[in-house]
Amino acid sequence: MRLHFDVALQLIEQSGHAPLPGEPGNDRWLQALIDALVDLSSRDPLTGLANRRSFELALSREIDRVARSGEPALLLTLDIDHFKRVNDTHGHAAGDQVIRAVARALAETVRPMDLVARTGGEEFAIVLPNCPAAFGPQVAERIRKRVARQPVEIAPGEQVNVTVSVGGAFAPQWVRTTARLWMDRTDLQLYRAKSEGRNRCCLEPTAVPLVSAEEKGLLFASSTFQDFT
């Protein structure tokens, strides 16, 4: 058990977490240790954003909320443009600097209620609850511009310009979808943004998406209505 404590404390120290309060071993200290480990398990270590596991849980919760309330919700996925070029030209340490800078820009641009996650190497996602359809393009464009206007310092006196491609789709209201279907529709728009030249936002043309056959099946499967003969 002592070894497990040592490993846990080492992980917490490496993450930059503040010292745990209380005397080692007492109830306050143990609770702080547990809380710190829970936080570490839900955070991306490089950026401090939510990790993919936390993102998937938040996505499922938002799907349930939209199905019950009918309130709009927007999902954005983002890729750093030409990120491989940064790594190949300047090295992976510079690539990490770029990822951190983009993460900060995203976190500073959205509302406290929105969830920003790093879902892959240079890939990010944002879940925006209660985001009216009219605001979707404005939100996505504000995020894109925020990243583009801030050069990233990768070494003393050396900067690189960074842009992102953004794809977005709204969850179907009053309909139970799945995380995979929502992500697929969002990724389709991200691919469109990249194929049209990058450094741009592409959202589904309509904020009221067509309900797929799979989503209709989920709707009917969860219905309490029965046929009477």
Q: What is the pLDDT of residues 114-143, one digit of tens each?
A: 999 999 999 999 999 999 988 999 999 999
How large is the average pLDDT for residues 141-150? 97
Q: Is 122 a catalytic residue?
A: yes
Mean pLDDT of the chain: 84
From the list 23, 56, 71, 122, the catalytic residue is 122
More confident residue, 84 or 37: 84
Q: Which two tokens stand for residue 221?
A: 């499967």
User: Is the separation of the CB atoms in 98 and 150 below 8 Å?
Assistant: no
Distances (CA, A) of 194 to 96, 101, 121, 198, 201: 22, 21, 17, 4, 9
1, 7, 36, 219 from 33: Cα distances, Å: 14, 12, 5, 43
Give the side-chain half-sphere CA count within 13 A for 202: 18
Q: Is the model's pLDDT at 219 over the cut of 80?
A: no
Q: What is the DSSP letter of 135?
A: G
Q: Which CATH class is domain 52-205?
A: alpha beta
DSSP code per residue over 86-134: HHHHH-HHHHHHHHHHHHHHHHHHS-TTSEEEE-SSSEEEEEEET--GG
The predicted model gives 100-112 an average pLDDT of 97
Q: Is the pLDDT of residue 220 over 70?
A: no
